Chain A
């Protein structure tokens, strides 16, 4: 079965640079969630989209922005990168047509800021 795809899988950037992370949800899934997991921490919710509209927002820095496109893929844009942005970034998807509320997680993008 198709899973959530994230790209790139690894990314190395320098401080003050920008980064774009991409997420391709499971086909026919209409909701996308982004989570950030710092070293030794549990994943924390950043932002979510339903049908291309922002549906919820967590502790996402103002330097970050995200959107969901007409094909339901999503991009997380990160500017003025800081050392503390080094983390695993997960995307998850779900479908409001599903009988369950289960979220399906992608493999993650490991961002390293030097």
Chain B
């Protein structure tokens, strides 16, 4: 099956700092989503981004499908950004299950 790797596995930031999270995947995909899992376990959908660049407030994401990676940028981090960030990918060829990466655990300290 497809391999999905995220880095770094853990990240501690001072409030106000910027960060970049990376997701590498091993095959062609037609679905790539970034999620933030909050302390209550809910998966908050951040971006659907199988290719290209999107921005939403302090967050932006870029996927370079030909090179099989995606980046999530968090600017001016806040304590509420803490949690686990997952990327999840679906293989090309129709509507498929998604495979999650192992996540990046982010802690933003005041």
Contact = CB atoms under 8 A, between A and B. Distances in A.
Size bin of chain A's contact surface: 20 to 34
A70 to B, nearest CB: 20
Chain B interface secondary structure, helix, strand, loop or mixed? strand
Given A101-B90, A107-B42, A108-B42, A33 B97 contact: yes
B41 A45 contact: no
Contacts of A108: 41-43
Q: Name the residue among B86, B96, B99 with the largest chain A CB count within 10 angstroms.
A: B96
Contacts of B103: 42
Interface in A70-94: 88, 90, 92, 94
A88 B97 contact: no
Contacts of A96: 95
Contacts, number: 54
Nearest to B84: A42
A110 B100 CA distance: 19
Given A42-B102, A101-B90, A103-B31, A90 B43 contact: yes
Interface string B68-89: 0000000000000000001010
A101 B35 CA distance: 15
9 contacts: A33-B97, A43-B100, A55-B95, A56-B96, A56-B97, A100-B31, A101-B50, A102-B31, A103-B33
